Amino acid sequence: MENQETRGKRKVLNGVVVSDKMDKTRTVAVERLVHDARYGKTLKRAAKFHAHDEANESRVGDKVEIMSTRPVSKTTKWRI
């Protein structure tokens, strides 16, 4: 079995838990800053990801780090 270094680096994102209604799954909002092409103004853009939380530890408002992983379900492809 290969170790993690040979498989390559996993994507890691920081975000805020916005929903904890599901069992063992959290919805995490990840914000990024984008520069407008025409005006150069900095804009906030957000994306939501479903992340697996095995112990149901995180709550709404918690800052978490999510890491890409194999698909756990149809929509869950990240873990906390």
Label each residue of 11-45 as H, E or C: CEEEEEEEECCCCCEEEEEEEEEEECCCCCCEEEE
Which CATH number is 9-79 given? 2.40.50.140
Backbone angles phi, psi at 7, to 5 degrees: -80, -15
Predicted local confidence at residue 40, as pLDDT? 94
d(CA 55, CA 30): 21
Structure tokens at 1: 């079995």
Strand partners, 68: 78
What's the CA gap between 80 and 54, in Å, rounded?
9
pLDDT at 64: 97
pLDDT at 80 over 90: yes
- Average pLDDT (8-14) is 91
Average pLDDT of span 19-45:
96
2 has pLDDT over 80: no
